[in-house]
Structure 1
């Protein structure tokens, strides 16, 4: 109970203290609010000269500042005047002229080291200094170069059909039968001709007869015979037959004769024949087989092949195309005209043939410091690559000889610019960009209305067809007889490829037969120089994605100014241009450069000494 009473008393006391603090805070806040602006009001209404000794609103130093565009108020000359009149300035001048000069000990170490370095400078350059070591410094640089070449090509052979023919002998056989009943013998006629006979050769002759021998009464006058085909055929028996000799030649229109006779060779057997006919005393039949040979001209088609290459080297076929449609043609032989039909009169047979071409890669292929780092096929036929783009990585090693002295390398060979470790100076890139701008400026100067830079020319070359040479090859110009049929544009493309100034656009049909393309052509954009081709190819096509058109409609236009501004030249590989740059630069030899330096020094000395 006592503890509870004590707690209540403490709580009441605490509340009383809190009320007092709150009242004090409120009174202070009210006082501050009423006087918060008195200080600033007093400061703004006070005159500085009344409270700051020596105050002036326009000090003399303000004349030294004339504003951003003004002068310095001649502060330099006034400062120099103050230095000569002011006591402090006089003291400084007096001490500089009257104080004794500082004495340098000639035996001091830094003096002796300098003299030794001067005296031994020759040993640094000639390599005899014992504190220096001879060093050979090498630096290798790897750069990428691009080129392209043919690896295979399509060649064609022409198969041409010609109407020819030959003579053939055809044999026909005819059988004729001559019956004695049709021969009109009478008492006045001893020989009867039958005909005409067909033309040919008698291959078989059979004579058969019947004779009523009993009516002859053994009288020789009554025994009968007949002569035909040069043979006498007797009829002395009741019947009989004869096989006559073959080989007798008969001509068309000839007649066959039958001559009468008898065994007694009577002068006038006609009555006997007549009596024999009347009573049917005899009857004979001659059966002849005649063979005729006719000579006939038969037409056919003879095919001849013409190839401008060794067909045995082909690695694959690439199809056959009819380039001369079929129809009927004629040929005249011995004054007679014959006709022959064919589905096609000429075919073009395509073959894929390896080609030993270096394209424009010859220099890179011959350089033992260059290796192929990438290949891509840019044209193919039937799944076989015809043309490829190659990337070569070439290593260039720069070396110099010098002395390493206390960590400092001194070059002696004079070719240290490539081995100083500073890296690529960007000179080549800068020159390439400047050359690009200069070339663009040439185009602008020529046409200030339609301003475009690096304009190219569209040229075409024909591909192989029916024995026609492939005029799109990148090698063999000048040493292949087949290329003699190529025109000047095609030859220009071949030379432009070697100079790396072409861009392949695509293919189109050059010749159609009945709606079928029988010869293709390739379209190229040819530019004035390698630099134009690089910027067009890597800038326009690869960066801006503006195509060069199609084989039917190539677009070799120049690059407009806005397009040129959109190209990032830092992303363009100018290595192909660098090689030309280095090959064409004119650097004088060392003797010439030394003489030029001597001449310049002599001229300067003469100018300073008045020519004495």
Structure 2
């Protein structure tokens, strides 16, 4: 008994659990069914403008998208180049790239080699005190600044990219259409009814209605084989179209025939015959119609009897329309990207970068083929190699680093001439005695190092020479126009197609490929190698039809390095007075008032040292100190000999 009860309880529990599961399944299925189709509905009804902040369906950038069949991205490339050359961000980026000097690391640089020296002699510092004196080398690094000119590697190119442009031509064309309209008889209005559908949008100018064997239904007034006037009067057929009624010309009138099979008036029948007619009517109109526009066409009979199962009739309607049609005439469209004024540059050559051939474009489902000999060109207007110029000595010195680059001549984003400031380290050494931790300067060498007066004699003589040269220039002039260090303008021709560059800063000793350069240009090249020139600018010296055929560089050339140093560092560097333009150089001398404002102690005369050394031997500061000591000792001996 208990076993039976347990089994019944188990069955009930299972049944209840099944009911609960069934209810949950039903709820889940109902929920799933309610979601059917909602996913696609959410996408179809999604409105981005209501969800995404600042959303726009037609951003300006969409103008650069030519579709999946577009043959090029010339518009986007042109916009990018324009932004790089004209926007503030683009200009800043180009300037940073141009003016960021390279900083080569050399193990021979004083600040690195000095560190290794300290490392190698670390025991002197760490071994403690030492009572005796020993000779040690002392050193100091001097930082000097030098300004020079150089020609950077540069290439000025324009690009021309071809794309396919859809040239849409709209014109009015006169077209003629013939439409066959079937007219079906209807007992609703007792007429033959049809409809004319306009085939194309346009201006409707002329309509012609033509039809043959149009039914003329029989009526009782035409009850004989012969046609009576009464019968004729009862017949009138019209075709109605566009508010106009046109008569149908009767060809055969309706009648009743007599057919006897058993002789005359014997076994006779009298069938009725419908007549038929034709229509050839036309009219002019002037109305705008749309494609698919419908006009009712009806045939009406004046008299009708027993009109049942009447056959359909057809009329041909001829329409004359003026239709505006659109023709697509794709053609090659060129987009040029030129980040400089090409009218001021000389074209050196052109290179096809995308081979020619056929390309296609799909317009409104129709494919058009367009041919071009070349689809992209690269036009080179200038391609100059790097020339270190007066910067060569500093660029080759591992102790010198370019600290500032000033572009003197630009064309677009390319720099054609640079003025570079180099910061150079010079390690000055001398001997001293290290006694019980104290540095004793026995011969005066370390005093010069400590006071920072290395090469002071050379600097003093150079400054004195500059002042003396200025005085000589001034003394040779009258009181009206007193100037010192006057230069002269000189110029040279830049490279063009087929000719080498007559404005090279170096290499004039070999003269390779420079045979076409004139004597003035060769003299200028040697003057630049001797550091006697200041770069002024570039200009187009020959034009034809707005195209530059020859460019020249202009310089101010001076008689001596001293004059060049004072003009470049004094007039331009300190006073901020320029040298004019490439087309109009200003190589005037420096006035007395301007000379009085110059700080000769701040000028770098290192370029003049070679000329100074060529005339005499310049003693170093240590040699000067030694001479002074010898002179003092000699004076003391003489005094002792005299008993003083």
Q: TM-score range by the shorter chain?
A: 0.3 to 0.5
In the superposition, the TM-score normalised over structure 2's length comes to 0.40
Q: Which has the larger radius of gyration?
A: 1
Larger RCO of the pair (alpha carbons < 8 Å, separation 6+) = 2
In the superposition, the TM-score normalised over structure 1's length comes to 0.42
